[in-house]
Structure 1
Amino acid sequence: MLKATPTIAGIDIGGANIKYCQSDGYTLNTVFPLWKKNLALPVILKDILSSKKIDILAITMTGELCDCFESKIEGVKYILNSIPKKQFTPLVWTTNQNFIPLANALKNPTICASSNWMGLASFIAKQQPKNFGLSIDIGSTTTDITAIDQGSPTPHGITDTERLNSGSLVYTGMKRTPLASLLGNKFAHEYFATIADAHLLANNLPEDPNNTDTADGRSFKKTNSARRIAKMLCADQTEIPMSKILSTSQLAIKTQIKWITNALKKHLQRKGKEPKWISVSGSGESLAKMVIKSFIWKTKPTIYSFSKTFGKENSDAACAYSIMKLAGIYHEM
């Protein structure tokens, strides 16, 4: 008698979002500010997992960096201990490119910290040609640039500190980056607006009236985004023309593209060669494509879109989707 195919899930627990994918096609991407609601983490994880009949849960994270934790080790252990005790096998993804049991992860928390990017790169490495390529994943908060060669990730640094120094981690994303960090000293250095407002006005993101995860708590609509960006000029919409608000948005986006492009250039100079292909993923896939378009190439690489291959929801949760797929491969070994 044939064994039933196991249901496998992947979960990526970040500082601002929780992303969850199941092998039966179910995907969830929910806003959860861990740094403010860390005590509620066991509750929301129970809510996510309680009604799901899964056999294997693959776990990765970046939320251990939240300032509600005194150290990354404390953060990793808290996140892992928040996983509900259910009738499934928990497997924790590590920066060593492997899964370990939950009990082992609690004893070795450092290799579990900020491991999600390695899960994505390891999965991409199995999907794409064996020649030199890149994974560019842009989420709501950060950008990960990872080299892949001969079917394996070849990263510049493993920890977030190392990757930040090497340009493999660029701390800017599609939504949460404070606009003040991208503008000069002629603008208010206050949390009045985020890069999401600029991308909305540039038509790079759709309006979402139900989304109030914004700088002022008002909905994610163009009228509100314009008001928020006007405040970056210490003004309201009665004092400055819309053209000034739009030019401020474009300035922030251009700065963001420049940051990521400079990191990409640094990456390729270190490698001494250009990629034959680039995989783009995350909620900022469109931003990744802007970066690639602005870059001066000797030979333009082939672009592989995660959303085109695996679906938009799975691209937004690319790391969770990737470790789910890797857990399936691990289970079959």
Structure 2
Amino acid sequence: MSITAGLDVGGAHLKVALVTQGRVTAVRQIACPLWQGLDKLDAALAEARPLIADADTIALTMTGELSDLFPDRETGALTLIGRLQEAFGDRLRFWMGPRGFGNADDARRHHTDVGSTNFLATAALVGRKAGDALLIDFGSTTADVIPISGGAPRPRGLTDADRQVTGELVYTGYTRTAVMGVASAAPFRGQWVGLAREYLATMADVRRILGTDLAEVDQHATADGQGKTPAESITRFARMLGRDARDGTGEDWRVAAAHIREAQLRSIHDGAVLVLSASGLDAAAPVVAAGIGASDVAEIAHRLGRTFVTYGELAGADPAAQAWATAAAPAVAVALLAGI
């Protein structure tokens, strides 16, 4: 029986997918605050081992080289390549973007193709499954917007720097982004209130205030180190407006939070419009929704006048694994691509 594992080593999470006989059977996300030290990666890998112990091949992609644990991306990539080779040995195959897969020596030679090309793996699988599509992967930290045409990804940029210009990388996240990075003001009781430029609240707080259940996907500490109830989120969010929670009603805070969420969605929508303006994609090409923010991607697809399908559905994941296959799309992609 053929078993392939896919790992996506990020700066905040380790995402793990298991493919058995060509079908996605299990997916997990494990907190991995890499900026706190390589021991956090070791702990996350240890937690993942029982799931991937029987895998014949472990396919890997990474964005963790961007962590401020490292002085630069090259150091980050080479350090992670070495650490992961120690952990898994010859079973490892590194995703190298346009170059496909290679071993650890290949990865060292082409480390610039190893780092932060997980979006290409996600998009390559969409190309194989859908032909023409617009992939929007809205994760905890960023949103990728990738056109796929004729069965292949057609990004205008390959590096983060280029992709932030083309609209293909929108640096805003479903949970981890600070509110101050999304908007400069919010409506409150008939007035526009400038927001504090302090790390006081995140988009996870905004979504909890709006009633979203983040228990499974929000795995990191809050801005003040306190709990994750809606009431505690309102306390943090109120500080952004120079207020205490008791200074407004629940509806006051929901109206203000809804405005922040809308500003975030608009930024991703604007990226999508810019990408579409250069892509020539047919109007019938669907949006493929990926990431923990896939439900919001569905809303963006509606605004774009396009149908949508989730990544888990497109990848043919087992029903019980579809939601997490959508959320952890790059791990799923490398696991499936490595088995082809």
Quote the residue 1:112 is aligned against.
114
Question: Among the aligned pairs, what percent are the same residue?
Answer: 27
* Cα separation, 2, equivalents of 1:282 and 1:208: 13
* Cα separation, 2, equivalents of 1:42 and 1:273: 42
- Pair 1:280-2:289 in alignment: yes
* Cα separation, 1, equivalents of 2:39 and 2:109: 22
Does structure 1 retain, via aligned residues, the 8 Å contact 2:138–2:174? yes
Quote the residue 1:164 is aligned against.
164
Stretch moving more, 224-233 or 48-57:
48-57
Stretch moving more, 183-192 or 110-119:
183-192
Choose from 104, 112, 117 the match for 1:102.
104
The DSSP-based 3-state class of the residue aligned with 1:96 is helix
CA offsets 1:147-198 (integer angstroms, 9 cap, x no match): 1111111111001111111110000121111011112151111111111111
Aligned residue runs from structure 1 range 148-163, under 5 A = 148-163=148-163
Distance change (3 Å), C-alpha of 1:210 and 1:17: closer
Aligned residue runs from structure 1 range 1-333, under 5 A = 5-24=1-20, 25-49=25-49, 52-83=53-84, 84-86=86-88, 88-128=90-130, 130=131, 132-184=132-184, 186-207=194-215, 213-275=221-283, 276-295=285-304, 300-309=305-314, 310=317, 311-329=322-340
CA offsets 1:246-291 (integer angstroms, 9 cap, x no match): 1221111111111111111111111244442111111000111122
* Cα separation, 2, equivalents of 1:122 and 1:272: 18
- The TM-score, its normalising length taken from structure 1, stands at 0.90
Kindly provide the amino acid, as one letter, of the partner of residue 309 in structure 2. Y
* Cα separation, 2, equivalents of 1:212 and 1:155: 31
Does structure 2 retain, via aligned residues, the 8 Å contact 1:97–1:119? no
CA positional deviation for 1:134: 0.8
CA positional deviation for 1:41: 2.2
Structure 2 regions of 5+ residues with no counterpart? 186-193
CA offsets 1:77-100 (integer angstroms, 9 cap, x no match): 111111134465210001215101
Distance change (3 Å), C-alpha of 1:285 and 1:234: same
* Cα separation, 1, equivalents of 2:201 and 2:100: 39
CA offsets 1:109-157 (integer angstroms, 9 cap, x no match): 11101011111000111111x3x32111111110001111111111110
Stretch moving more, 214-223 or 104-113:
214-223
CA offsets 1:30-80 (integer angstroms, 9 cap, x no match): 111111223442343244236712210101001111111111111011111
Does structure 2 retain, via aligned residues, the 8 Å contact 1:80–1:106? yes
Quote the residue 2:191 is aligned against.
none
CA offsets 1:293-320 (integer angstroms, 9 cap, x no match): 233xxxx333111244530011111110
* Cα separation, 1, equivalents of 2:290 and 2:218: 24
Does structure 1 retain, via aligned residues, the 8 Å contact 2:95–2:334? yes
* Cα separation, 2, equivalents of 1:210 and 1:273: 34
Q: How many residues align?
A: 319
Kindly provide the amino acid, as one letter, of the partner of residue 70 in structure 2. F
Does structure 2 retain, via aligned residues, the 8 Å contact 1:97–1:118? no
* Cα separation, 2, equivalents of 1:226 and 1:19: 30
Structure 1 regions of 5+ residues with no counterpart? none
- The TM-score, its normalising length taken from structure 2, stands at 0.88
* Cα separation, 2, equivalents of 1:153 and 1:176: 27
Kindly provide the amino acid, as one letter, of the partner of residue 268 in structure 2. I
Distance change (3 Å), C-alpha of 1:210 and 1:56: closer
Cα RMSD of the aligned pairs, angstroms, is 2.0
Distance change (3 Å), C-alpha of 1:266 and 1:49: same
Distance change (3 Å), C-alpha of 1:63 and 1:239: same
* Cα separation, 2, equivalents of 1:196 and 1:232: 14
CA positional deviation for 1:212: 5.5
Quote the residue 2:189 is aligned against.
none
Q: Which has the higher contact order (CA 8 A, sep 6+)?
A: 2
